[in-house]
Structure 1
Amino acid sequence: MAQELPNPEEFIDGQIIQSTKIYDRTGEVLLYEVHGDQKRTVISFNETPQYAREATLAIEDQNFYQHAAMDWKGTLRALITNIATGEMSQGGSTITQQLARNTFLTAEKTIQRKIKELILANWIEEKYSKDKILELYLNQIPYGTNAYGIEAASQTYFNKPAKDLSLAESATLAAMIQAPSYYSPWGTHTDELINRRNYVLEQMYKLGFIDEQERESAQKTKLNFASQNIGTIKAPHFVMMVKGYLGQKYGEDIMEKGGLKVITTLDWGLQQLAEAVVEKGASRNTDLYQGKNAALVAQDPKTGQILALVGSKDYFNKDIDGNFNVAVQGLRQPGSSFKPFAYVTAFEKGYSPNTIVFDLPTEFSSYTNICPLVNVNYNDENPLCFHPQNFDGDFRGPVNLRNSLAQSINIASVKVLYLAGLNDTIKTAQNFGISTLTDPGRYGLSLVLGGGEVKLIDMVGAYSIFSQEGIKHNQSIILAVDSAKGDVLEKYLDQAARVIDQQYPKIVNNILSDNEARAGLFQTSLSLTIFPGRDVALKTGTTNDYKDAWTLGYTPSLVVGVWAGNSDNTPMQKHAGSILAAVPIWSEFMNTVLQNYPMEFFNKPEEIVENKPVMNGEYIIDGQVHNILYYVGRDDPTGPQPLDPGSDSQFLNWELPVKNWWQNLPG
């Protein structure tokens, strides 16, 4: 075996480098070519900054200057650390092993290759000094985006020679070595990159390379990355998402030099339209509402395939952080677009669309000695009090759940969340694919008004489950990946599962596609939501501070979500809500696209007749008027009437406004 190995004194080019090509779903439109050309400028050991050398040692091989080619203690320590943390934060290979592998060997993971790696590593250790090995390593390793070696990486990501790298920049480049595409500053895991950079700095501090002040200063440093020079590219946010996926699954070497053919789920025609309407809408919002950015995701709900994805108005516009993918990376508050999760949970528990709740000034806080339950003071901003208002400032009295959802009535919706249960509603959202509500203890009843952060791509996936009457199809961006030899490495496989009984999403679909029911909400903009001859369900959302405007709409065959706002969380102009900022973008896209889709209607839900008048649309019962908690135990709504309704913590909060309203009702 040793006779088959190359001479480590002769650096060879190795295998033939072929570019990876990323296509649209037809396999005919080339979106991007990941070139195999290696950008590399060799520099000497003394030209590499000390910070860069030390940062690399701290994260890749802390005992480099003490061990031989193999570091058994380091390998064991890395294994223990990774098991303890549940993350691959530390690698087991020494720098010499990595140099041997990256320079002379293929990426195949076999015992034979590992043996060859160890033999070569020993030869390298015998031939070269430690400083020379580190120099060779820093000139050889890939940093992503075809940048090989630290000099090319420094120029690529910071637009400066390596000798001018700061401590924070050096630690960032060291952090990228493990998985350059995944940790790319232009990709979708920038938070993970910063976390790993800070971990590198912690290790440097523990090893005595830097002091505490240097560590803290570097961890607080906001990095100024160079603009990405990626040549010809179509659908850049989508392509960068695909590229990150490929790098993580197949490795940087295979992705950049392996000649993969990647067929994605992207519909190039829909993508071009999506980019055009987002650019037009965001430009309009900039002029009218100071909302400079927008994003759009379109999905086939029957397969989970992403058809179009626009992460910002302009990928290359640094003024709006254009390369930041709001659709995938952005954690934004969804406003009222979160409400369907509470309603579908309530329906699942037995509440009907005709169930009556009262839309009246209501204080939901338990601090009743501070927050009055009657004559609620809406000028009181005490954080201990919670008394939401409706978007129009009106109160409608008794309202059924159907109209409450269709017209997005806030006070009634908070009551629905309470009836459905906060934790159960969060569980429903999680089952529907909302991945960000990981700490239920953070949220209260304001969650139904958008008090938690979500991602646009998750919301589109979740609304796809409504579209498919409770069937979840896992989201996908890849149809097929073939090797350079034509071998199929990966092929789309529909993974579907029912997450809720079909009856309850059917009710939501029926409500959200009712043009007449939502007329009061959209008023003069209603025409933007009507598509004659077909059913189109729609839900909007706006945060109280006008930082986020959402529109999510769907048919049985297409789901489209739009976000509008500013990437830096700057509020839009007051009253620039979803109907003004997001609906026009969504409507223009749907009007054009639906011409190529069949006329479809949602299946109607079964008629529900409950054994309780309050759940059948009545609120004057036996000549009396009470809030729903008088008649219904919230955990068992179809069960017997509560013997002691006052034991419910919200009973008085809801009952006193109802009594006050009834006593003061004219006539």
Structure 2
Amino acid sequence: KNFYFHQALDWRAVIRAIFVNLKSGTIRQGGSTITQQVAKTAFLTPERTFTRKIKEIILAYWLEKKFSKDEILDSYLNLVPYGSNAYGVEAASQIYFAKSAKDLSLAESAYLASLPKAPTYYSPWGVHQGELEQRKNYILEKMSELNFIDQEEKIRARTAKVKFEPQSLGLIKAPHFVLMVKDYLVNKYGEETVTNGGLKAITSLDWELQQIAEQVVLEGAQRNTELYQGKNAALVAQDAKTGQILALVGSKDYFDVENEGNFNVAVQGLRQPGSALKPFVYLTAFKKGYAPESVIFDVPTNFDTTGWMPYQPENFDNLFRGPVNFRQALGQSLNLPSVKVLYLAGLNDSLKTLSDFGITTLNDPLRFGLSLVLGGGEIKLVELVDAFASLAQEGIRHNQVFILKIEDKNGKVLEKYADIAVQIADPQYARLVNNILSDAETRHGLFQNSFNLTIFPDREVALKTGTTEDFRDAWAFGYTPSFAVGVWAGNNNNAPMQKQAGSILAALPMWHDFLSQVFEKYPDKIPFKSFNEPEVVEEVKLMLNGQFIIQENNQSTTHSILYFVDKNDPLGPIPSYPENDPQFKNWEQGVKLWLLNHPEFFMGITM
């Protein structure tokens, strides 16, 4: 906007940049004009130092005296980096649109004009496509304000459908992982340093595991496409002992432009987890004094206490089992009992547990209710794998990493991995969850005909799956004491999969295939080890200890757990006025109706 009017420098921008840089102690803002950018691109190294900035200013004044504004602008358009090794607008036009710059439309030109500010960040093949769209529209708005285009041209360019050429990454391996690393480096060290500074990054990627993961995801997504119209999948594998990501596949095919293959679902995707969060809710309940033997009634129950809209969740098989204990409810992923467990554990306390385990996307308690335990929130695959890795480590969380060391061009170490381990949950409570999720006998009723996909010869593996409403997302998470892996299957556009393709059909086969191959080909990568047994604690309180039948007036009877337990003090005395709990009436009614409809189940018991 001011290029043709300033003399090499835009002093307002310089003063603003000086203020920001002095405050931070480093070069955070440049305040560079087009002339300065030509100077640093053509003549200077990429280090961000005050000395280089002074040289840049001197060179900019020299350029302004030596060349005309049009000549400087021409140099800028031929020198500036546009990302993907494209320097200059003509090279960028060929790479992104396969045409000469003189043949670009207004919309295409606006996209290219968006890139020099931050080529990697705004890359049309990257994860910030929404931000690229906003920057393109900003440029069109400025062009309109400065009368380079009229309103009609602006609106037409804003709404034009622009197709980018597929990205060519040549021989690059693990593209989602590599570009995730590059994105981190650019954000930390700047575009110039990453492009020209000779940085060397050593990552945690295990290429042997990555190859298996890519093959499994590609074949699994192809199978799901044919059978269920589930066109995409993602996988993350992590060393639970160190927090290091060993394999990461963000989609079935990075180059599948039609299905947004370049979008990294594993890291950027916000998807509903179905019942995959249940283990962390049960762990919260165990913290409060409940036990795997504690009894809860799996009976039709309305959880609404306002009279406005009934909330009556059902189990995956539409069956109700009557009294079940926490072990059965979690091991068989029963929905209705799990909603009750969330109520007993407390929504805020459960969200705190999830936050402690590294889930960053559920930080607004006002958004969630009892449906949270059935998937009423959005999470990232990479974070939930990290959470299960912390369960595997008995409540110890290691900082999740994918870069082990970064060196500059002279070999100076800029960053180096250091394991940071924090005990986020009592080992006893994590062991209780691990004991349930690794109990093959308990999970048998859930997986039935697919039970063989949940077990491995001579290996003890914990497993939790999740399926969202309308079969839009399918998940499988599993872990040994030292290794965790998670799989997602679905569609980027959130379209439901067909034929009721939930976790067992769409995600579990990929999860099992990946682990089977790793166990067979590289057994030393995942040591043979069983989970530690939890300490045996004798509960004495009714319902908590598995006993739910009592004698009243010489008759056998039973009640909901809220009759015996104050949810805010489960180990304390039996409530004097259980009816004061807002859920008591609904839960009691559910138990009464169950007994009326199943007299044979509790022969001789009355209410």
TM-score, scaled to structure 2: 0.90
Change (3 A) 1:194 1:428: farther
The structure 1 residue matched to 2:571, chosen from 638, 644, 648, is: 638
State yes or no: 1:391 paired with 2:391.
Answer: no
Kept in 2, the 8 Å contact 1:188–1:328? The answer is no
Distance 2:318 2:488 in 1: 24
User: Corresponding residue for 1:503?
Assistant: 428
Change (3 A) 1:194 1:470: farther
Distance 2:240 2:170 in 1: 33
User: Corresponding residue for 1:290?
Assistant: 229
The structure 2 residue matched to 1:612, chosen from 541, 560, 565, is: 541
The structure 2 residue matched to 1:531, chosen from 441, 446, 456, is: 456
User: Corresponding residue for 1:126?
Assistant: 65
Distance 2:314 2:213 in 1: 34
The structure 2 residue matched to 1:276, chosen from 208, 215, 222, is: 215
User: What does the per-residue CA deviation read over 1:302-356, in whole Å, with 9 as the maximum and x for residues that have no partner?
Assistant: 1111111112222222333222222122221111112112111222222222222
Distance 2:420 2:161 in 1: 41
Distance 1:251 1:89 in 2: 9
State yes or no: 1:333 paired with 2:269.
Answer: no
Amino acid at match of 2:219: K
Kept in 2, the 8 Å contact 1:535–1:601? The answer is yes
SS state at 2:112 partner:
helix
Change (3 A) 1:603 1:633: same
State yes or no: 1:551 paired with 2:467.
Answer: no
Matches within 5 A, 1:242-321: 242-321=181-260
Kept in 2, the 8 Å contact 1:407–1:521? The answer is yes
Change (3 A) 1:205 1:554: farther
Amino acid at match of 2:510: I
User: Corresponding residue for 1:47?
Assistant: none
The structure 1 residue matched to 2:410, chosen from 461, 466, 485, is: 485
Q: CA deviation at 1:198?
A: 4.4
TM-score, scaled to structure 1: 0.82
Amino acid at match of 1:149: G
Kept in 2, the 8 Å contact 1:188–1:241? The answer is no
Change (3 A) 1:223 1:510: farther
Q: CA deviation at 1:104?
A: 1.3
Q: CA deviation at 1:579?
A: 0.8
User: What does the per-residue CA deviation read over 1:187-225, in whole Å, with 9 as the maximum and x for residues that have no partner?
Assistant: 233334334444545555666666666666655555422
User: Corresponding residue for 1:162?
Assistant: 101
Amino acid at match of 1:638: L
Amino acid at match of 1:185: P
Distance 1:491 1:423 in 2: 36
Q: CA deviation at 1:620?
A: 2.1
Distance 2:36 2:582 in 1: 64
Distance 1:137 1:491 in 2: 37
User: What does the per-residue CA deviation read over 1:377-422, in whole Å, with 9 as the maximum and x for residues that have no partner?
Assistant: xxxxxxx332111100100111111111110000111111122222
User: Corresponding residue for 2:383?
Assistant: 458
Change (3 A) 1:645 1:79: farther
Q: CA deviation at 1:228?
A: 0.4
SS state at 2:598 partner:
coil
Kept in 1, the 8 Å contact 2:542–2:564? The answer is no
Structure 1 ranges of 4+ moved more than 6 A = 78-83
Kept in 1, the 8 Å contact 2:477–2:484? The answer is yes
Q: CA deviation at 1:612?
A: 2.2
User: Corresponding residue for 1:376?
Assistant: none
The structure 2 residue matched to 1:571, chosen from 496, 500, 505, is: 496
Structure 1 window deviating more from structure 2 (397-406 vs 99-108): it is 99-108
SS state at 2:471 partner:
coil
The structure 2 residue matched to 1:149, chosen from 76, 88, 91, is: 88
Q: How much is the aligned-residue C-alpha RMSD, in angstroms?
A: 2.6
Amino acid at match of 1:465: S
Change (3 A) 1:421 1:91: farther
Q: CA deviation at 1:553?
A: 0.3
Distance 1:221 1:618 in 2: 67
The structure 2 residue matched to 1:586, chosen from 508, 511, 526, is: 511
Change (3 A) 1:643 1:225: farther
SS state at 2:291 partner:
coil
Structure 1 window deviating more from structure 2 (297-306 vs 68-77): it is 68-77
Q: CA deviation at 1:71?
A: 2.1
Matches within 5 A, 1:20-59: none
Q: State percent identity of aligned pairs.
A: 61
Distance 2:149 2:423 in 1: 54
State yes or no: 1:657 paired with 2:590.
Answer: yes
Distance 1:455 1:562 in 2: 11
Distance 1:422 1:164 in 2: 58
State yes or no: 1:408 paired with 2:336.
Answer: no
SS state at 1:181 partner:
coil
Q: CA deviation at 1:247?
A: 2.7
Distance 2:361 2:594 in 1: 39
User: Corresponding residue for 2:117?
Assistant: 178
Change (3 A) 1:168 1:79: farther
Q: Structure 2: which 5+ residue stretches go unaligned? A: none
Kept in 2, the 8 Å contact 1:267–1:307? The answer is yes
User: What does the per-residue CA deviation read over 1:473-506, in whole Å, with 9 as the maximum and x for residues that have no partner?
Assistant: 1222222233333333332222222222222211
Distance 1:496 1:138 in 2: 49
Distance 2:515 2:167 in 1: 32
Structure 1 window deviating more from structure 2 (643-652 vs 552-561): it is 643-652
Distance 1:217 1:640 in 2: 71
Amino acid at match of 1:110: T
